[in-house]
Structure 1
Amino acid sequence: MTMGHDPAVAALRAALARSGGATSDHDLNPDFTPPAGRVLRPAAVLVAVRPGPDGARVILTKRSSRLKHHPGQIAFPGGKQDEGDAGAVDAALREAEEEIGLPRAAVEVLGTLPAHETVTGFTVTPVLGYVRADFRSVPEPGEVEEVFEVPLEHVTDPACFTVERRRWRGSWRRYYTVPYGPYYIWGATARILRALADRVAP
């Protein structure tokens, strides 16, 4: 199916055109007060959507269990914005190529969602992209344990999301989850997907 005929592309373009504000890991925790004078570091992730025989799918990764930060967690391809990056889009495409072997030339960038602030001090720009060509994922050794896909329909259905909580630094923190099969998608990844779902749902 070509990009011009994939209904997912039209739905995503319409979602990007709808209004919506920035999101945060703190959205479900209104009692949390960010520290004064905090400096957020820029980062970007690629929300890569590709066509499939049963509908469009979103590419996600499972981080290596050997990593110091967020080991084993589900994440979009992405990372910190480097000085050599032209901007958030460039950073997201570079990271996706490094982490999963997705050539930037295969991605049609549809746009960006409002930034998401993480509890770890990053302001993350989600870049929405459509994969126009077939590619074989190549997980980056030592950083990516697995590359997998979930149906776009699943992660853009608000009914598939739940709110859970856990103790963090002595307090209860609530967060979104959108589980799929053996994959526990939560935290910033789930919050970004929920923001997209809220835009697609109307």
Structure 2
Amino acid sequence: MSHDEIARLFDALYGGWYSSAVRYVARRCGSVALAEDCVHECFLRLCKELLRGARIDNPKGWLFKVIRNEMTKPRWIGGPAPLFSLDELHDPDSCSALAVEMDTEIGELTEMLWCLTEREEEVVILRLEGFTYAEIAEVLGIGRESVKTLMARAVGRLRLLAQTGAVNRGRRKKANVDIPNT
């Protein structure tokens, strides 16, 4: 891959996925500043790998997998993630029209994510960022069927929560919401 091709690929990824990556990390670590630093570090790693000549078949998936792995390092771990609406971090210039239309619904949904397991929450957040099930599976290092199962559980928990009206906006503790097996 030539330097021009690398530059074009890097620009396309940065322009298309930077905001999404920051929202993803901020939701997990609780700090927009830490999230931006983490994402910059991962984009730098991507650039170095490409310049080194590494073959990366799915750069978006690779990037988010590296971001997810990077987030486990102590320097990126802030306090518990505060409840916030994704539209607080929203950059309208870098998001699709569909994402702009969904801001209100996403904001309401993120206030209910406390009832999900961490893995279910990750799947929902990545899906809201426009990832396909296959891409989510690659980022999380699990099978596509596992993503489907996690998404089904998450949707079931969120539906039950919405039906019972048990939303507690100030609560970050994971709840034990039982979903009947159907």
Q: Give the TM interval when normalised to the shorter protein.
A: under 0.3
Q: Higher helix share goes to which structure?
A: 2
Pick the structure with greater CA Rg. 2
Structure with greater contact order relative to length (CA < 8 Å, sep ≥ 6)? 1
More strand by percentage: 1
